[in-house]
Amino acid sequence: MTKQEIEKKVELIKEISGCDPYKCMKCGKCSGSCPAFNEMDVKPHQFASYIVNGDIESLVSSKSLWKCLTCLACIERCPRSVQPGKLIDAARQLVERERGGDYLHAEDIPELLDDDVPQQLLVSAYRRYRR
Amino acid sequence: MSMNEEKTEFRPLIVAFCCNWCSYAGADLAGSSRLSYPADVKIIRVPCSGRVNPMFILRAFERGADGVIICGCHPGDCHYSTGNYYARRRMTLLFSMLDYMGVENGRTRVEWCSAAEGVKFSNTMNEFCEKVKSLGKSVRLGDIRCKD
Amino acid sequence: MQGLIDRLTALLSDGTVARVIGWKKGDMAYNPEPHMFETAESLKDFVYDGFCGANLSKMMIEASKLEGKTAVCLKPCDTYSFNQLIREHRVVRENAYIIGVGCRGKLDIEKIKKGNKGITSISGTELDGSDDIKIETIYGDKNISYKDALLDRCHVCKGKDHMIFDEVWGESKDTADQERFAEVEKIEAMTPEEKFAFFRNELSKCIRCNACRNVCPACSCRKCIFDNTKFDAQQKANVVSFEERMFHIIRAFHVAGRCTDCGECSRVCPEGIPLHLFNRKFIKDIDKFYGEFQAGKDPEAQSPLTDFTFEDIEPGERG
Amino acid sequence: MYKIAIKDLNTLFSKIAEEQELILPIKKAGQYNFGVYEEGCDIDGILTNKTVKSGKDAFFPQFETLYNVRKKITPADELENGEEAANTKIRTKLTIEAEALKDKDFVIFGMRACDVKGVEVLDQVFLTDPVDNYYKARREHGIIVALACHEPEESCFCTVFGIDPADPSKSKADVATWIVGEELCWKPITEKGEALTKKIESLLASADDSAVDAEIANITSIMDKLPNTKLSLEGWGKGKTDEKFNSDVWQKIYTPCLGCGTCTFVCPTCQCYDIKDYTTKDGIQRYRCWDSCMYSDFTLMAGGQNRTSQVQRFRQRFMHKLVYFPDRYDMYSCVGCGRCVDKCPQSLNIVKVIKAFENEQKEAGANV
Amino acid sequence: MQRIGVFVCHCGTNIAATVDVKKVVELVRFEPGVVFADDYMYMCSEAGQEKIIAAIKEHDLTGLVICSCSPRMHEKTFRACAEKAGLNPYMVEVANIREQCSWIHKDREEATEKAVILARAAIAKVNLNTPLQEGESPVTKRALIIGGGIAGIQTALDIADAGYEVDIVEREPSIGGRMSQFDKTFPTLDCASCILTPKMVEVNQHPNITLYTYSEVEGVSGYVGNFDVKIRKKARSVDMSACTGCGECQAKCPLGKMGKIPSEFDRGLRTRPAIYMPFAQAVPAVPVIDRENCTYFKTGKCGVCAKICPSKAVNYEQEDEIVTVKYGAIVVATGFDIINLDKFGEYAYNESPDVITSIELERLMNASGPTGGHLERMSDHKQPKDIVFIQCVGSRCDDEKGKPYCSKVCCMYTAKHAMLIKDHWPDTNITVFYIDVRTPGKNFDEFYRRAVEQYHVNYVKGQVGKVIPQPDGSLLVQGVDLLDNKQIMKKTDMVVLAAAVEPNKGVRKIATMLTASIDNNDFLTEAHAKLRPVESPTAGIFLSGMAQGPKDIPETVSQAGAAAVKVVGLLAKDKLKTNPCTAKCDPMFCNGCSTCANVCPYGAITYEDQQVRGPGVNETRRVAVVNNALCQGCGACTSACPSGAMDLQGFSNRQITTEVDSICR
């Protein structure tokens, strides 16, 4: 990715999430709260740094992207309003948008129902991407 | 236009209101550091940017000024704690109104400049002069009676 | 209307109020005048119809100084002005008995007169009147819709609720059907040259009669700065280019954050200058820069120009 | 009597404007006001609509410079001895440059009979001793082309003052005109009028004097139907000072008055002015501008006089028009143009004042 | 008309090199009002000043314009010079033709032209100058300290020792404040009581100090040097002069045994009777009756305390008393509290009694505390074997739950707590979850390192996300170790929360009464963050302790001393000179609309009904009045005033417009 592309993506993530990753003070309360912590390769407290450093590629290709349960614990508890849950969700949307019109269809869902994918993700994703 | 420029270079008339505690001192520092800026800038000392009544600014334009700049302490550093905050709101609204009436944006400016920022003061004045110069003589707010 | 007159008569008779500020029947179909009624008997001339556009709140400044309470008829939008006057300690709340009179929008006689010369009578303008008003002139009769003859300000009505009142008489209607800031936005979108030409064209008509200032409830200064010989701003001349602009900018600035957008300035201008465009620009800017603010909604609220936050935008970053 | 097609008026105007300044009603930002004719100015509807201000500015402008004062300093090298160099008194001289008087003819088109009568009122003030030179010069050079009122409005009441809006040739105008169908009839009255007519003769066709009879009759009948033309002036005029001045009616009716100058500035006869100084770039400009007796600082003196309350100011204006002026010049200084009736922000006006006194009298009579 | 003398300085070649001084003299000579113009090599020199004085006398000058260096440099000099010659010092204006002209312009013609313009502006201004007199106001030689914590105590002692009378107003029944609740202090581990109690006693016995405990400030009027303060002395129900402090009443109060009234001093960790002293060493050692809870006051029955009091000091009839006292200066030392933790549900503070705040821990470790200094869990009174400390609870938090600032003291007291616990019970396992450890203070980092190196306290870089009370009575702590990048699930016996500090709730009311400004977090604002850190922008109001911002005890004590010196400096004056360049209201034009008062940073504008007489006016109405002692001359009111009634002396509307006019000529 060129520098401009990265910048554009960073801006997009900020815009979608409404969060400012620069506000992160690396306290770790998000990771301390995260029920999916052990499943993740990139940990919640690292999301902000990945975005600040422009390493969007690693973030979107990480396992964490799909491991986040969207349980909102980190969003609720983050003392700096960085809210990693929103950041990672924004990154997910970024990926979804890049796939073009290839959104989730209701009929595809049964196929996706395996044990690895948390149900909450499916429900929330379905709600969001169907339209 | 280009022919006129060759004959006599246009010299704008610029009135600067500087607060006594920060910007006026900043201007003094620019002076003692020999940082030059055009002589077109004439400074009026006021105790605080909050003292600048919008009428002074309009008066300057009425009397033939081509640009008006207000300098005060940085927000948070006002000698009187809050004067520049009020000034900031007043000037934002006033300048917006002048813009709305078709007076070029570049003729008005507010700059926060501390007593230590001689360089900034001089740079600001140079920039502002250039800008006003590029806009030419102010014809939209002057009073006909003040024309030479 | 008779109900209102009866109520006012009762208030005067039982001593609740010593006088009534309302409108007195005019000598033509459309020119009632603001009036102070002192006796129950004089109320026979009281009128309240579509032409009672005048904002009576300012008359309470003088009435506040009089002995006893004064009943004052205020339309919903006038109550904003009254609140603002309370905030500025210009009226005494306790000395006023506010009758919140209903309003379905007020009429612009200039609009009606356009193409209707020699008017002898106009009917159907009462609060409970019809959707059409009937105009009789010596040159012929005509019906026009009430809505089409509304004052411009009524198209951006602030709402049908009275902000302050002791009792309400009659029903009000929110007549807003236009964007409040549409006109301002139209000008904002112009080039500097067009803006300048627009205002120059309008303001060059100004005759410096001061009607806009003298009618304005926010211009309640005992002595205006433009009449103040000590300030060097005193000028009576409507002279050339600058003068009238200085006057109007400063006037708008002095009422910024206090102007309730009652529209009286534009209504009274003999030259039909849309003076509200200045005030509304300030209101729009204040809303945009410092959060929505409606002067006169809450008499306790701090005016945006006597307030600040640390994060206010910089004058150069207005966007 | 001449005539010209109304559609050709623009040609007429530019022809007149070729040789002299032409002032006429112009439509600008939705309003009709007298202004200087320029190619392309909007003259749509100017024949039938009342202007906001009267044409009085043409002779007595709202703002005019009287003279300029400048300071001259003798350069040091022109001095005879060095000692004088520091003496500011010796080296400073004040010069006064009076503003030039009007010295070119101009035409004012479209005044109505009431407006012309207004000029007559001004003449009383400015042309009697002491004569106002600035006014006199304008008056001498101005050529008034008056227009009969095609569509009088309900606020009109000029007939009350003996003015005939149907026939401007009875007024002090130089040329009288009428709208007759699609044509404008043109009748020079004075020598000045004849001279002007001569200059534009090529554009005019001749017409019979009787061409305007129908128009005159029509206007007269309309005037008859208008509500305010029945107004009675009984009780006003010469010698009524004490009676009217001390009446308590003023107190009853003045309250809505805002003290603005609208009535004054739209009035064809108000002639009060203020003289002020303005510091210009290199001197002082003395100018005069209209003033209004409704203003709180009108003729304000250091001690707080003259009139300290709005009721006094309000009384002054109407007393002046209806009592003091007749006392002094034997004519009312109201011409019934109705502009104040149209424009007062509070719907207060001279007609209401006259009616209020009439009612008072009736009630007093009933009580006796 | 003024008679103005213009003096143009060469400043050696500083000015004369680029500005044609002679030409300036020649050109300004003809300005209106100028009767004399001259130049000199060094105007500020002795000889230059002599020249000015001579000219004033010879030409009978009424105003001076000095064209020289910046007025910030020599305005005072020339004003003094004018005064020497009998001219009012405020009739002098300086045109800055050095810093703002000769030094920045190279072209001689250009610089000369500008110098003339600047001189003209100054001349035009002097034409409108009026003689101004410095005002004087007397000083009441008595200070008021609001708050009787360590900050207030220290300030009071320092002022009293300097020989001035001081009153302390304390809301609680005893002075001592937060510090009296503490066990030990960092980094020296002194016993807090041992160093505080003597000071409390000293205050009580000091001849210059009067204590108003169980009292509150009700209202403040006046201005610097002359405050009138209304103090409400709440009814104690015990006669202060009769009570011997024997404590009988406390012991016999039936409510004491019922254990229903939580002790405020012990943060609810134990209970107290209805008649009580907050703690044993209370000063004054006189109990109060808590009328809300007292059976006698609720039902009219009981009266035990009155019956058993050996000195008959209990008086149920006592009423609140309001006294008004005059002061010259006021110090705000209202201290702090910790934030409410209701919004931090994840830490289970409200769910488990074993999750406690640090102040509660202080009480638990204090020998005079509820457990006699024995650390135990409040649930089962067992000694905890494993303790988790969580830092930054509500501090550095940018949402509405907490506070955006660092509370500053937590890192140090947590290290202190950890070490004290380890000292007493070395086998206790201690984990501290931190974001950053901040130790900028003398011996601070050494102190913290000792906790790690000597006591092996386990510091974990990371935060706790959740504390889950377990059925077995233990607490499950879910946190993260950021350095290991591992999530931690840990069972512990006790969790201690380092809750953020915040200004005492009452400060907002007090600041309003004093017109002292407070910031977004309710901390009092200082007059200048760097140069006037212990003064409020409102003259005569001083700041001490946590009320101004988070700080530890040594800092508080040094600020207290600094505030005391400022107060003493003020009280040492018999009269205060007031700046004559103050705002002035012309009642003829004033509407009484309050706009000016709304923008005045000093509360210098009040309103009163005045009789206004003038041409055609004679009425009584509300107009603005400027208090010259408070007004600092910023002029904010003058630009806010719509009618132009408010004007600033020395920088009046006309003076500034005339400067504008002459510059634009």
Question: Do β-strands D183-188 and D205-206 pair in parallel, antiparallel, or remain unpaired?
Answer: unpaired
User: Which residue in E has a C-alpha nearest to residue C231's C-alpha?
Assistant: E654
User: Which residue in C has a C-alpha nearest to residue E587's C-alpha?
Assistant: C222
User: Using the 8-state DSSP alphabet, how is residue D195 labeled?
Assistant: H
Look-up: residue for tokens 């906001």? D52
Average pLDDT, chain B: 87
Q: Tell me, yes or no, if D84 comes closer than 8 A to chain C by beta carbon.
A: no
Residue E622 and residue E594 share a domain: yes
Q: State whether B85 and C312 contact (CB < 8 Å).
A: yes
Query: What mean pLDDT is predicted for residues A37-42?
Result: 93
pLDDT band at A129; cut points 50, 70, 90: low
How high is the pLDDT of residue C235? 63
CB < 8 Å from D in window 99-138 of C: 113, 117-120, 137-138
How high is the pLDDT of residue D218? 93
Distance from CA of E629 to the nearest CA of C (A): 23
Ordered by start, the domain boundaries in chain C are 2-106+159-169, 182-309
Residues of B with CB under 8 A from a CB of C: 54-55, 58-59, 61-62, 75-76, 82, 85-86, 88-104, 108-110, 140-145
Number of neighbours of residue E245 by Cβ within 10 angstroms? 15
Q: Tell me, yes or no, if D276 comes closer than 8 A to chain B by beta carbon.
A: no
Angle between helices B54-62 and E653-663 (to 10 degrees): 30
Residues of E within 8 A of C255 (CB-CB) are 642
pLDDT at B137 over 90: no
With 0-12 CB in 10 A as exposed, 13-18 as middle and 19+ as buried, what is D45?
A: exposed
Encoded tokens for C312: 């206010």
How high is the pLDDT of residue D292? 92
Query: What mean pLDDT is predicted for residues E157-172?
Result: 97
Q: State whether A79 and E402 contact (CB < 8 Å).
A: yes
pLDDT at D368 over 70: no
Residues of E within 8 A of D304 (CB-CB) are 614-617
Entry field: residues in chain B: 148
- In order of B42, D299, D316, E654, the CA distances from D306 in angstroms are 43, 6, 11, 27
How high is the pLDDT of residue B145? 58
* Weakest mean pLDDT among C195-209, D86-100, E227-241, E385-399: D86-100
Is the distance from CB of B42 to CB of B53 less than 8 angstroms? no
Question: Do β-strands D183-188 and D2-5 pair in parallel, antiparallel, or remain unpaired?
Answer: antiparallel
> Any contact of B with D, at least 3 CB pairs below 8 A?
yes
How high is the pLDDT of residue A122? 67
What does the alpha-carbon distance between residue D259 and residue D267 come to, in Å, rounded to a whole number?
15
What does the alpha-carbon distance between residue D264 and residue E473 come to, in Å, rounded to a whole number?
91
- Residue A20 in domain: yes
User: Which residue in B has a C-alpha nearest to residue E531's C-alpha?
Assistant: B79
* H or E segment to which residue B87 belongs: helix B83-100
pLDDT at D63 over 80: yes
* H or E segment to which residue E445 belongs: helix E444-453
Neighbouring chains of A at 3+ CB pairs within 8 Å? E
pLDDT band at B2; cut points 50, 70, 90: very low
Entry field: residues in chain A: 131
How high is the pLDDT of residue E118? 96
Q: State whether E463 and A26 contact (CB < 8 Å).
A: no
pTM score, whole prediction: 0.75
Chosen from C225, C243, C245, C290 to mutate, greatest number of chain B CBs within 10 A:
C245
Give the HSE-up count for residue E549: Cα atoms under 13 Å, Cβ half-sphere: 15
Number of neighbours of residue D182 by Cβ within 10 angstroms? 9
User: Which residue in C has a C-alpha nearest to residue B106's C-alpha?
Assistant: C316
Structure confidence by residue, pLDDT tens digits, E353-400: 999 999 999 999 998 899 988 999 999 999 999 999 999 999 999 888
Inter-chain Cβ pairs, chain C and chain E, closer than 8 A = 63
Structure confidence by residue, pLDDT tens digits, D18-52: 999 999 999 998 899 999 999 989 999 899 999 99
CB < 8 Å from C in window 271-330 of D: 274, 276, 278, 287, 289-292, 295-297
- Residue A114 in domain: no
pLDDT at B5 over 50: no
Question: Do β-strands E386-393 and E429-434 pair in parallel, antiparallel, or remain unpaired?
Answer: parallel
Q: Tell me, yes or no, if C117 comes closer than 8 A to chain E by beta carbon.
A: no
- In order of E181, E269, E280, the CA distances from E369 in angstroms are 9, 9, 10
Structure confidence by residue, pLDDT tens digits, B16-63: 999 998 899 899 989 988 999 999 999 999 999 999 999 999 989 988
Q: State whether C240 and B100 contact (CB < 8 Å).
A: no
Give the HSE-up count for residue C153: Cα atoms under 13 Å, Cβ half-sphere: 26
Ranges of residues in chain C whose predicted pLDDT is under 70: 231-244, 319
- Of the candidates C33, C118, C207, the beta carbon closest to that of D62 is on C207
Is the distance from CB of D115 to CB of D54 less than 8 angstroms? yes
Q: Is E100 helix (H, G, I), strand (E, B) or coil?
A: helix
User: Which residue in C has a C-alpha nearest to residue D262's C-alpha?
Assistant: C209
Residues of E within 8 A of C254 (CB-CB) are 642
Query: What mean pLDDT is predicted for residues E537-562?
Result: 94
pLDDT band at D283; cut points 50, 70, 90: confident
Structure confidence by residue, pLDDT tens digits, C160-174: 999 999 999 999 999
Distance from CA of E405 to the nearest CA of C (A): 16
> Any contact of E with C, at least 3 CB pairs below 8 A?
yes
Average pLDDT, chain E: 93
Q: Is E299 helix (H, G, I), strand (E, B) or coil?
A: helix
- Of the candidates E29, E34, E616, the beta carbon closest to that of D308 is on E616
Complete DSSP assignment for E553-589: HHHHHHHHHHHHHHHHHHHT-SEEEE-S--EEE-TTT
- Of the candidates E98, E105, E635, the beta carbon closest to that of B47 is on E635
Buried b (16+ CB within 10 A) or exposed e, D223-235: beebbbbebeeeb
pLDDT band at E634; cut points 50, 70, 90: very high
Widest pairwise Cα distance in chain B:
51
- Residue A40 in domain: yes
pLDDT at D268 over 90: yes
Number of neighbours of residue E360 by Cβ within 10 angstroms? 23
Q: What is the CATH number of the domain that holds A62?
A: 1.10.1060.10
Chosen from D99, D222, D317, D347 to mutate, greatest number of chain C CBs within 10 A:
D347
- Residue E241 in domain: no
pLDDT band at A79; cut points 50, 70, 90: very high
> Any contact of A with C, at least 3 CB pairs below 8 A?
no
Residues of C within 8 A of E653 (CB-CB) are 230-232
pLDDT at A130 over 60: no
- Structural domain including E428 reads 340-502
Is the distance from CB of B123 to CB of B41 less than 8 angstroms? no
Residue E425 and residue E464 share a domain: yes
Residues of D within 8 A of B145 (CB-CB) are 278, 280, 285
Give the HSE-up count for residue E312: Cα atoms under 13 Å, Cβ half-sphere: 0
Q: Terminus-to-terminus CA distance in chain E, angstroms?
A: 21
Chosen from E482, E488, E489, E490 to mutate, greatest number of chain A CBs within 10 A:
E482
Its sign, for the CA torsion A61, A64, A66, A70, is: negative
Structure confidence by residue, pLDDT tens digits, E463-472: 999 999 999 9
Query: What mean pLDDT is predicted for residues D92-101?
Result: 89
Is the distance from CB of C4 to CB of C169 less than 8 angstroms? yes
Query: What mean pLDDT is predicted for residues D221-247?
Result: 90
Q: State whether C27 and D63 contact (CB < 8 Å).
A: no
pLDDT at D294 over 80: yes
Q: State whether E615 and D300 contact (CB < 8 Å).
A: yes
- Of the candidates A25, A73, A76, the beta carbon closest to that of E435 is on A25
Domain at B11-132: CATH architecture: 3-Layer(aba) Sandwich (3.40)
Q: Which residues 6+ apart lie within 8 Å of B75 measured at CB?
A: B84, B85, B88, B112, C310, C312
Q: Tell me, yes or no, if C92 comes closer than 8 A to chain D by beta carbon.
A: no
Residues of E within 8 A of A77 (CB-CB) are 346, 465
How high is the pLDDT of residue B1? 39
Look-up: residue for tokens 């901390």? E523
User: Which residue in D has a C-alpha nearest to residue E35's C-alpha?
Assistant: D88
Q: Which residues 6+ apart lie within 8 Å of E364 measured at CB?
A: E269, E356, E370, E371, E375, E376
User: Which residue in B has a C-alpha nearest to residue E109's C-alpha?
Assistant: B39
Residue E59 and residue E147 share a domain: no
What does the alpha-carbon distance between residue E51 and residue E47 come to, in Å, rounded to a whole number?
6
Inter-chain Cβ pairs, chain B and chain C, closer than 8 A = 116
Residue E371 and residue E297 share a domain: no
pLDDT band at D321; cut points 50, 70, 90: very high
Residues of E within 8 A of B52 (CB-CB) are 639
Query: What mean pLDDT is predicted for residues E217-235?
Result: 91
* Weakest mean pLDDT among C223-237, D326-340, E153-167: C223-237
What does the alpha-carbon distance between residue C146 and residue C158 come to, in Å, rounded to a whole number?
19
Look-up: residue for tokens 């380092």? E498
What does the alpha-carbon distance between residue D299 and residue D293 come to, in Å, rounded to a whole number?
8
Query: What mean pLDDT is predicted for residues E442-447?
Result: 94
Q: What is the CATH number of the domain that holds E362?
A: 3.50.50.60
> Any contact of C with D, at least 3 CB pairs below 8 A?
yes
Number of neighbours of residue B107 by Cβ within 10 angstroms? 24
- Residue A45 in domain: yes
* H or E segment to which residue B59 belongs: helix B54-62
pLDDT band at E108; cut points 50, 70, 90: very high
Query: What mean pLDDT is predicted for residues D325-341?
Result: 94
Domains identified in chain E, total number:
5
Query: What mean pLDDT is predicted for residues A40-59?
Result: 93
Query: What mean pLDDT is predicted for residues A99-122?
Result: 66
> Any contact of B with A, at least 3 CB pairs below 8 A?
no
Encoded tokens for C292: 């929505």
Query: What mean pLDDT is predicted for residues E214-222?
Result: 90
Q: Which of D89-98, E130-139, E254-263, E474-483 has the highest mean pLDDT?
A: E474-483
How high is the pLDDT of residue D83? 65
pLDDT band at D242; cut points 50, 70, 90: confident
How high is the pLDDT of residue B144? 58
- In order of D122, D165, D217, D220, E487, the CA distances from D162 in angstroms are 17, 9, 16, 12, 104
Q: State whether B97 and C315 contact (CB < 8 Å).
A: no
pLDDT at D295 over 60: yes
Residue E117 and residue E265 share a domain: no
Structure confidence by residue, pLDDT tens digits, B104-122: 889 999 999 988 888 999 9
Q: State whether E30 and D281 contact (CB < 8 Å).
A: no
What does the alpha-carbon distance between residue C188 and residue E97 come to, in Å, rounded to a whole number?
42
Select from E480, E502, E524 the last residue of a domain: E502
* H or E segment to which residue D95 belongs: strand D92-98
Across B1-97, the runs of DSSP E, i.e. the strands, are 14-19, 41-46, 67-72
Distance from CA of E96 to the nearest CA of B (A): 9
Number of neighbours of residue B25 by Cβ within 10 angstroms? 23
pLDDT band at E628; cut points 50, 70, 90: confident
How high is the pLDDT of residue C48? 94
How high is the pLDDT of residue E565? 97
Residues of E within 8 A of D278 (CB-CB) are none
How high is the pLDDT of residue B4? 44
